[in-house]
Amino acid sequence: MIKFGAGNLRVPKWTRPVYVVAAGQSDFRKRYPEKKLEEICMMAFRMMLEENDLKKDPLDVKGLINLTVCGEFADHFQDQLLCEAKVVDYIGLDPLYNVGVKTGGATGGSAVLMGATTVASGLSDCTLVLGWERMDEVKTWTGNYYIATAACKDFETRLARNYASYYASMARRFQEMYHVDERVRAAIAVKNRGYAYMSPFAQQPGKHTIDEVLNGNIVSDPLRFLECCAMSVGSAALLLCSEEMAYQLTDNPVRLYAAGASHTLRTGDRRHMEIPLLPNESATQYEKLYQEMRINDSRWPGFESFAAARFAAWLAYRMAGVNDPLEDLDVVETHDAFTISDLQTYGDVGLRPYGQEQDFVTSGDCYVKDPKAGKPGKCPTNPSGGLLGTMHAVGATGVFQCNEVFWQIQNKYDKFHGDPGMWSRFGKKKPVDWESLQIKNAKRGLAISHAGVGSHVTCAILEKAW
């Protein structure tokens, strides 16, 4: 059994606070042949500078940036090493320093974490975090192969070379262990793709039914087509500042806390450990679960849970003073690359105790508005549309998630999602049945950025600072 020393469990402390002041992103598509990657990144950069109601002119804000942290998962897609140098040159920040981050699916979240540390340490007063992925220059199956090489080549990669197959086995195990109704997974797909219908940025929005999801083609049993995200093209940008700089630029800054954790690439080699308890949990709470694990020859985290997600939340909650995530958080953006990863995360971040994750859906707590009761959910997840409905341009994903939480806290969901001009900018028409997904009085939110089958996870908490 893995045992942690006291030093291993040290809660991160930053030398000074970090704030988010502006965000921007492109729309997200399957293909974007009419624009070069640098142009797509410029779309996010310009939105960040020009459309966040900052108190300084865009060029003046640009003149405050000290360095750039770039997120890009795979050089393979662009066939260009050091792509960050080309992008930073194009947006006009050369010769300021830039650094690239690559941690699989968590690349965007890791870029936010690394960018935050540059501000927290005093290395920078104003850091640009810019993430992107260009996944349309290769065939879909080639892209799937590239992504699958982020699994362990000695073991997991040989089994499938397709991430859906890795998650399918976890879905089976999770379903057996916790007696999950497959309609719960389908409900997640319906919700997130339905929320994407309200977003001009979304790649694959849609109004679906549970039966439509369950009658869809199997990608990897039991996961169906609408339960899986798609390959995307797009970019996202976030501006992080020191406290003094933040209030120079906006009257509505959002404070950021972030932590990360990692775990083995080999899903079949997750060594047993005791569940790290979140502030709202107790050891006695899991006595029955441990007993059931012994009966079923299982162990934690096993195939059912992501230790990296639990440990990242364990750290971030203590950094931010979150005592009960269901009560203290107003919005959550999960890494719903597959419906099963969404469901697993509910337990990992403590929205429900392990083994009770499906209740978070059936109770209506995960909805902006519970479709059955017609009342607001307790802690809505993925009003952005998530990865299932809006995007998974991998290097941009974690940045995009923080953007969406940031705009919710600033009460700007409608500004960025409801303006007909935003829709027409991306060649779309705002739906006549569009509905606002702005969460009333949102003060604190969380974004989970997740890699592979849990090899790297970052947990970012954003909270209102005015």
Q: Tell me the pLDDT tens digit for each residue of 218-234.
A: 999 999 999 999 899 99
Q: How many CB atoms lie within 10 A of CB 36?
A: 15
Residue 342 has pLDDT above 90, yes or no: yes
Residues 331 and 306 in one domain: yes
The residue out of 225, 249, 273 marking a domain boundary is 249
Per-residue pLDDT of 8-61, as tens digits, reads 889 999 999 999 999 999 999 999 999 999 999 999 999 999 999 999 999 999
Residues 266 and 381 in one domain: yes
Per-chain mean pLDDT for the chain? 94
Residues 243 and 302 in one domain: no
Closest among 460, 344, 350, 440 to 400, alpha carbons compared: 460
Residue 269 has pLDDT above 80, yes or no: no
For position 1, what pLDDT does the model report? Answer: 62
Residues 240 and 289 in one domain: no
**Cβ atoms of residues 129 and 406 within 8 Å:** no
Overall average pLDDT of the 128-147 stretch = 89
Residues 295 and 378 in one domain: yes
% of residues, the chain, pLDDT over 90 = 82
The residue out of 222, 249, 276 marking a domain boundary is 249
Q: How many CB atoms lie within 10 A of CB 209?
A: 11
**Residue-number span of the structural domain to which 444 is assigned:** 257-464
For position 201, what pLDDT does the model report? Answer: 98
Does some domain include residue 26?
yes
Does some domain include residue 217?
no
Q: How far is CA 249 from the centre of its chain?
A: 26
The residue out of 249, 273, 302 marking a domain boundary is 249
Number of domains, the chain = 2
Residues 435 and 289 in one domain: yes
Residues 398 and 455 in one domain: yes
3-state DSSP helix/strand/coil % of the chain, to nearest 5: 40, 15, 45
Does some domain include residue 386?
yes
For position 366, what pLDDT does the model report? Answer: 98
Closest among 342, 453, 446 to 388, alpha carbons compared: 342
Residues 368 and 384 in one domain: yes
Residues 28 and 92 in one domain: yes
**Of 73-82, 148-157, 226-235, 377-386, where does mean pLDDT reach its minimum?**
148-157
> Which element (helix H / strand E) includes 292?
helix 287-295
Residues 37 and 107 in one domain: yes
Residues 243 and 346 in one domain: no
The Cα 113–Cα 118 span in angstroms is 9
Per-residue pLDDT of 417-458, as tens digits, reads 999 999 999 999 999 999 999 999 999 999 999 998 889 999
Backbone phi, then psi, for 163, in 5-degree steps? -65, -30
pTM above 0.95, yes or no: yes
Does some domain include residue 116?
yes
Q: In this structure, what CATH number is given to the domain that contains residue 436?
A: 3.40.47.10
The Cα 108–Cα 112 span in angstroms is 6
Does some domain include residue 222?
no
Overall average pLDDT of the 165-177 stretch = 89
- Bridge partners (DSSP) of residue 103 are 105
